[in-house]
């Protein structure tokens, strides 16, 4: 998909996700973190056009104003919602193929030089499927796959693959 279409569909799906979360079509404009998503989308757009200084300006704006660090290289499909976003970190090689909600203090990234293969793709950081909730101060680290419908609880540390429709608490403890 070309960068313009990625930008358009990313912003559109982010808007729809915020509208669904707020249960209103006009409320996303009053959610400050929706503008953080827009800044990320613009940063990602310029990253793919190889205009790295402009990309880094949007990244820096998010970092200073919102205290949210989403690397411009992250591949996040439209439809993610940031809830109380201070302290969120999302690494460069994180891939999301669907919607997810992320709460403050959560970290997605870190691999210590490890790599894994999923669907003929080399993973360096987490690969997120659809409809995931990432709780307060939780960490999802390494080249792992998080299945659809997963809920990651507050302060959880996830370092292993997680199958669909699970709840994770503590250190890789799975509740069905």
Domains of the chain plus CATH, in order, are 3-175 (2.160.10.10)
Distances (CA, A) of 122 to 89, 110, 126, 144, 169: 21, 15, 11, 11, 27
Among candidate residues 175, 169, 149, the one with its CA nearest the CA of residue 157: 169
The pLDDT of residue 24: 78
Among candidate residues 165, 50, 145, 36, the one with its CA nearest the CA of residue 96: 145
The pLDDT of residue 22: 78
Residue, of 176 and 135, whose pLDDT is higher: 135
Whole-model pTM: value is 0.92
The pLDDT of residue 38: 94
Q: DSSP string covering 37-88, please?
A: HHHHHHHHHHHHTT-HHHHHHHHHHIIIII--EE-TT-EE-S-EEEES-TT-
The pLDDT of residue 95: 95
pLDDT, tens digit, for every residue of 92-147?
999 999 999 999 999 999 888 889 888 888 999 999 999 999 999 999 999 999 99
The pLDDT of residue 97: 93
Query: 144 near 125, Cβ under 8 Å?
Result: no
Residue, of 87 and 27, whose pLDDT is higher: 87
Interatomic CA distance for residues 158 and 143, integer angstroms: 11
- pLDDT band per the 50, 70, 90 thresholds, residue 61: very high
- pLDDT band per the 50, 70, 90 thresholds, residue 167: very high
User: Within 13 Å of residue 107, how many CA atoms lie on the same side as its CB?
Assistant: 12
User: Within 13 Å of residue 81, how many CA atoms lie on the same side as its CB?
Assistant: 19
Q: CB neighbours of 159 closer than 8 A, spacing ≥ 6?
A: 141, 142, 144, 171, 172
Average pLDDT over the chain, rounded to an integer: 92
Q: CB neighbours of 102 closer than 8 A, spacing ≥ 6?
A: 80, 81, 82, 83, 85, 88, 90, 108, 134
Query: Which element (helix H / strand E) includes 10?
Result: helix 3-22
């Amino acid at each position: 998909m070309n960068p313009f279409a990625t930008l358009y569909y990313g912003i559109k799906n982010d808007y729809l996700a915020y509208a669904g979360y707020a249960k209103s079509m006009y409320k996303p404009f009053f959610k400050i973190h929706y503008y953080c998503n827009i800044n990320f989308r613009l940063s990602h757009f310029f990253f793919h056009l190889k205009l790295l200084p402009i990309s880094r300006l949007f990244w820096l704006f998010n970092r200073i104003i919102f205290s949210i660090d989403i690397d411009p290289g992250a591949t996040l499909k439209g439809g993610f919602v940031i809830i109380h976003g201070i302290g969120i970190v999302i690494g460069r090689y994180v891939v999301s193929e669907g919607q997810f909600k992320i709460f403050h203090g959560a970290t997605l990234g870190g691999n210590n030089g490890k790599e894994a293969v999923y669907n003929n793709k080399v993973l360096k950081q987490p690969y997120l499927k659809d409809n995931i909730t990432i709780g307060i101060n939780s960490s999802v680290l390494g080249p792992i796959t998080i299945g659809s419908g997963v809920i990651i609880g507050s302060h959880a540390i996830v370092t292993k693959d997680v199958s669909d429709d699970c709840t994770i608490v503590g250190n890789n403890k799975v509740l069905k």
